[in-house]
Amino acid sequence: MGSAAPKLPPFPPGPGSGFALKPKAEANAEAAVDQLAEAARLAEAGNAFGAREILARLNYRLPAAPAAGTPLLRSAFYFKEALRVALSSSGEAAPPTPTPYDVVLKLGAYKSLSEVSPVLQFAHLTTVQAVLDELGGTAAGCVHVVDLDIGMGEQWASLMQELAQRNRHHQAQASSLRVTALVSTYSHAPLELQLVHENLAGFAHDLGVPFHFAAYNVDTLDPAELLALANPNEAVAVHLPVGAAHAAAMPGVLRLAKRLGARVVVAVDRGGDRPELPFAAHLFQAFQSCVSLLESIDAVNTDSETASRIERFLVQPAVEQRVAGRHRAAVDNNKAMMPWRTVLASAGFVPVPASSFAEAQAESLLKKVPLMGFRVEKRAGALCLYWQRGELVSVSAWRC
């Protein structure tokens, strides 16, 4: 009973598609996932009314509190809500403006996730190492990172440390760091960006690394603004999240990367995003990844308050972006999107295999995690982090 997989006729089977359920929760969880699958299938067929009816009935099977219940039931809650928003008359709901207290809680959620799971540390460490592998030997006086996934900005602390060490050994030409964050109003409030800037600037000051930070709204960005500030003495790297939530902006970002003369594009795929699949199948792939992430967080006995904060400020917004992005594409094009790797290749980028040092660093990180179940795997040149059989995040480098 405990190892049986839920029956999901609308979804194609895939590796790691089974979920181990607690006996008492199994029947309710299987029914909830079946209903979510049916709603996604109706949405894919264009029957929004029928899908909304099923989502309304699904309220009775899911926990009243989002962070209550098994990882599978909590994931179903987040995807139910995301699908409901995507099917609303406006297509998406305008998020409420976060209060300063919300920003503090979100910062706390990032810190908590870093403490209970290696997901963020793996993504950040592997990204920075990919940048160093490509730019480490450059003689440029400035490293310029164009970051479309700035988060709280802590991923660039280790890059600053590397530049500080380089400056101590090559005093004739001090290296500096310039970070340009491309964000949306949905992902970052002005106060968040201010705190990101202050934290990075303070760290750079302590290390003695010249630092400059700027942020632009990616939804209204005029590429000419960035190109006008381009410096031929800069070594440019682009930090790019991939998948359904970012698919619409990706071709334009890659064109901008080429015009800026980027040495490397680091693509970060959180959760095996497969936007090339039909809508319902894509939703299930994302659902699987969410379940794996929540299972890994629960496995370290994370207290309910901490888990609730992580899910409210990090997990649920990511699910909403992923579902809304894929649904918009389905409505606009009535077909699946190209795989993100194909988009990169068609734009003239080729994958760069992860270095053995990057792989060793990732393995070393997992040895510090007091929990069995995480593993690193090199696949198609990318470094991937798994929990059990579920892929959590993969990082790959691409060179033009």
Instruction: Count, in order, helices (H) and strands (E) of the chain.
Output: 14, 9
**Where does residue 172 rank: exposed (0-12), middle (13-18), buried (19+ CB within 10 A)?**
exposed
d(CA 347, CA 252): 10
Note whether 29 and 21 are within 8 A (CB): yes
Write down the pLDDT at residue 13: 39
Q: What angle do the packed helices 23-44 and 48-58 form, to 10 degrees? A: 160
Query: What residue segments make up the domains of the chain, in order of their start?
Result: 100-273+336-399
Query: For residue range 106-121, what is the model confidence (pLDDT) as tens digits?
Result: 989 999 999 999 999 9
Over the chain, what is the mean pLDDT? 84
Q: Locate tokens 């403006």: which residue?
A: 97
User: Is the model's pLDDT at 141 over the cut of 90?
Assistant: no
The more confidently predicted of residues 175 and 146 is: 146
pLDDT of residue 183: 87
Q: For 273-298, what is each residue's pLDDT tens digit?
A: 787 888 899 999 999 999 999 999 99
Instruction: Give the confidence band of 43 by pLDDT, cuts at 50, 70, 90.
Output: very high
d(C-alpha 282, C-alpha 91), whole Å: 18
Work out the average pLDDT over 354-364: 93
- What average pLDDT does range 198-209 have in this prediction? 93
- pLDDT greater than 80 at residue 35: yes
Q: Exposed, middle or buried: residue 354 (CB in 10 Å: 0-12, 13-18, 19+)?
A: buried
Q: How confident is the model over 78-99, as pLDDT tens digits?
A: 999 999 999 985 544 556 777 8
The percentage of residues in the chain with a pLDDT greater than 90, rounded to a whole number, is 48
Q: What is the pLDDT at residue 336?
A: 57
* Rg, C-alpha atoms of the chain: 21
CB 108 within 8 A of CB 65: no
pLDDT at 14 over 70: no
Sequence letter at residue 262: A
What does pTM read for this prediction?
A: 0.87
- Rounded Cα gap, residues 103 and 100, in angstroms: 5
> Rounded distance, CA 304 to CA 168, Å?
46
> Cβ contacts of residue 8 below 8 Å, gap of 6+?
17, 33, 34, 37, 284
Per-residue pLDDT tens digits for 310-346: 999 999 999 998 898 888 877 776 555 788 899 999 9
Residue 354, pLDDT > 50, answer yes
Measured between alpha carbons, how far is 398 from 400 in angstroms, rounded to an integer? 7
Calculate mean pLDDT across residues 299-303: 85
Tell me the pLDDT band of 382, cut-offs 50, 70 and 90.
very high
pLDDT at residue 28, as a whole number? 72
Residue with tokens 């029914």: 31
Buried b (16+ CB within 10 A) or exposed e, 226-247: beeeeeeebbbbbbbbbbbbbb
Question: Which architecture does CATH list for 100-273+336-399?
Answer: 3-Layer(aba) Sandwich (3.40)
CB atoms within 10 A of CB 81: 19
The H or E element containing residue 251 is helix 250-259
CA 227, CA 220: separation in Å to the nearest integer? Answer: 15
Q: Annotate 64-95 with DSSP letters as a single string.
A: SSTT-S-HHHHHHHHHHHHHHHHTSTTSSPPP
pLDDT of residue 9: 37
